[in-house]
Every structure is written in C-alpha cells, then in structure tokens.
Amino acid sequence: MSVFKVTRTVTVESFPHFRKYYQFYYKVLNETHEIAITYIPDGEMQSARVEYDKIVPLNTFREGSEEITEEEFRDVYFKATQIILEKNN
C-alpha cells in the first residue's frame, strides 16, 4: 500500500508551461495533458523518448523541478528527435 501526501502547491497561470527535472522535460499543455521528453544524450545510457500523455504531478512538479523556457524545451525536443531518427536508420 502506498500513501501520498501533497508537499507543495504549484500554480500554473498560463499554458503552455515548461518544466525540467534532471533529464526529464515537460510541456504542460492544459490542466490534464502534457508532452514529456526523456533525454540522456551520452554513453551506454543514451536514450530519448517523446510522449504525449496525462500529467503525472509527482513527476512534472516534483520537488527539485524547475520552470524552463519554451526555447530550452524546443532545443531538447530537437536533440531527442535527432537521436531517435539516427537510431531509426
């Protein structure tokens, strides 16, 4: 059994809203959905994933996450898709 508690409240006043937590990047589209990117560029752990899904608050707004700019999000999106395209050939 797991018990979760709210440890803080984050108010998002406009959409889209962009966040980062280590190698995870989020574009919050509205109150329920987001685009999430996992981006690890180097070494044996290299990986990239881009997904559209419902917001997981404990990931997107977790302690230690920070707001980023749209430009930062777009840059990582481009880099992640480049890894995916390179591996697809």
Let me know if residue 9 belongs to a domain: no
**Number of structural domains found in the chain:** 1
Q: To which residue do tokens 């987001």 refer? A: 34
Q: To which residue do tokens 């999106």 refer? A: 77
What residue numbers bound the domain in which 79 lies? 17-88
For the entire predicted model, the pTM comes to 0.86
Identify which of 64, 63, 68 has the alpha carbon closest to the alpha carbon of residue 27: 68
Let me know if residue 51 belongs to a domain: yes
Find the Cα–Cα–Cα–Cα dihedral 13, 71, 46, 83, rounded to 10°: 120
Identify which of 55, 15, 21, 16 has the alpha carbon closest to the alpha carbon of residue 38: 21
Let me know if residue 1 belongs to a domain: no
Structure-block tokens of residue 50:
């881009």
pLDDT of 1 reads 67
Give average pLDDT by consecutive 10-residue segment, the chain, 89 residues: 68 91 96 96 91 93 92 97 88
Let me know if residue 5 belongs to a domain: no
pLDDT of 10 reads 78
pLDDT of 84 reads 93
Q: To which residue do tokens 């996992």 refer? A: 38
pLDDT of 43 reads 86
Let me know if residue 70 belongs to a domain: yes
Let me know if residue 8 belongs to a domain: no
pLDDT of 6 reads 66
Let me know if residue 11 belongs to a domain: no
